[in-house]
Every structure is written in structure tokens, then in C-alpha cells.
């Protein structure tokens, strides 16, 4: 298992992995956060692709990178290999947030939730108002099926 490795992650993820722990310590002093652990209930499934290939597929489905998202940690110690969002429009009230974790060289564990868009509702977003794990997981599974991306559901 690749725990927190920098191998095969993009430059943005490398920067986030270095900077966010420092920012998190500062944010905690005022009751905030910049890092968190992903809830196991957000597990969508495991896709048997390389990280690079899955990033390409996410883009083709209309997802965009989300550089300001909190850095997610898997409960087994892995750090996320990227955060992605899908919005129906740039100013949509809600967004589908997807976090990916490498699981070996050619498997990606995918997690998702719906939430208020940070663009339209920054404070509500930060404090997790409008958070809907079930809807996020169901929507992402549906999108994967619609785009013929095979996944398996293994409780990680």
C-alpha cells in the first residue's frame, strides 16, 4: 500500500500535502481546519485505473480540480491524491465533491458527498451545511456507470 507517497501525484497535490499541515495547525488555533479524515460512509468504490487515467476520466465527466478543499486523510493513513468537484454551473448552489486515494499502482479508491458550493455559500460550505453523503455516493456511482467506468465496492 502506498501511504502518503508523492509518487504519481501532480504538482498541485504535492504542494497541498506540504502546505496544508502547516495551515491546519494555524487554523486549529482559531477553531478551524484545513485537514480532515474522510468518512468511510463516503466510499463510492474502487476503480481499476492509474491515477493519471482516472484524472482524465474525471475531467471528461465535467469535474474540475478543487485546490482549496481540505486535505483529506484516509483512516488507514493515506493522504488524498486529489479533490474534484462537479457543479451544474459555475454559480450553482451545490457541488459534488469527490476525493481520490491511490490504492496500489493501478487502483483508485473514490469517496464523494454533496455539499454547498464554497463559491456561493463559503461559510455554510466551510461548516458542512448541506452535506449529503448518501446523495454524493449515489450520484458518483451513477456517473461512473453512465461513463462506463467499472468499479467494485470493497469496504476499505
- Cβ-count burial of 86 within 10 angstroms (0-12 exposed, 13-18 middle, 19+ buried)? buried
In this predicted structure, what is the pLDDT of residue 14?
A: 72
How confident is the model at residue 27, as a pLDDT? 61
Question: Does 38 fall in a domain?
Answer: yes
Q: What CATH number does residue 19 fall under? A: 3.30.310
pTM of the model: 0.82
Q: Are 140 and 98 in contact (CB under 8 A)?
A: yes
139, part of any domain: yes
Range of the domain at 37: 11-152
pLDDT number for residue 18: 75
Give domain status of residue 140, yes or no. Answer: yes
pLDDT at 4: 44
Could you list the pLDDT tens digit for every one of the 156 residues in the chain?
A: 444 444 567 777 776 677 666 664 666 677 765 677 899 999 999 999 999 999 999 999 999 998 888 889 899 999 999 999 999 998 989 999 999 999 988 999 999 999 988 887 777 767 778 789 999 999 999 999 999 999 999 875
Q: How many domains does the chain have?
A: 1
DSSP letters for 49-109: S-HHHHHHHHHHTT-EE-TTSPEEE-TTSPBPS-EEEE-SSTT-SEEEEEEEEE-SSS-EE
Query: Residue 5 falls within a domain, yes or no?
Result: no
**Grid cell for residue 117:** 458550493
How far apart are the C-alpha atoms of 150 and 114, rounded to whole Å? Answer: 22
Q: Is residue 2 part of a domain?
A: no
Specify if 116 maps to a domain. yes
107 is a domain residue: yes
Identify the pLDDT of residue 96: 96
Q: Is 135 a domain residue?
A: yes
Amino acid at each position: 500500500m502506498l501511504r502518503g507517497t508523492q509518487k504519481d501525484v501532480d504538482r498541485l497535490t504535492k504542494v497541498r500535502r506540504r502546505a496544508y499541515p502547516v495551515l491546519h495547525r494555524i487554523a486549529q488555533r482559531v477553531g478551524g481546519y484545513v485537514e480532515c479524515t474522510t468518512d468511510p460512509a463516503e466510499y463510492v468504490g474502487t476503480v481499476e485505473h492509474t491515477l493519471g487515467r482516472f484524472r482524465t476520466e474525471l475531467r471528461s465527466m465535467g469535474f474540475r480540480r478543487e485546490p482549496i478543499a481540505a486535505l483529506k486523510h484516509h483512516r488507514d493513513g493515506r493522504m488524498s491524491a486529489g479533490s474534484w468537484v462537479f457543479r451544474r454551473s459555475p454559480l450553482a448552489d451545490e457541488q459534488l465533491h469527490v476525493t481520490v486515494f491511490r490504492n496500489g499502482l493501478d487502483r483508485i479508491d473514490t469517496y464523494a458527498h454533496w455539499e454547498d458550493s464554497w463559491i456561493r455559500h463559503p461559510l455554510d460550505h466551510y461548516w458542512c451545511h448541506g452535506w449529503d453523503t448518501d446523495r454524493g455516493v449515489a450520484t458518483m456511482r451513477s456517473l461512473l456507470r453512465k461513463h462506463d467506468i467499472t468499479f467494485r465496492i470493497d469496504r476499505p
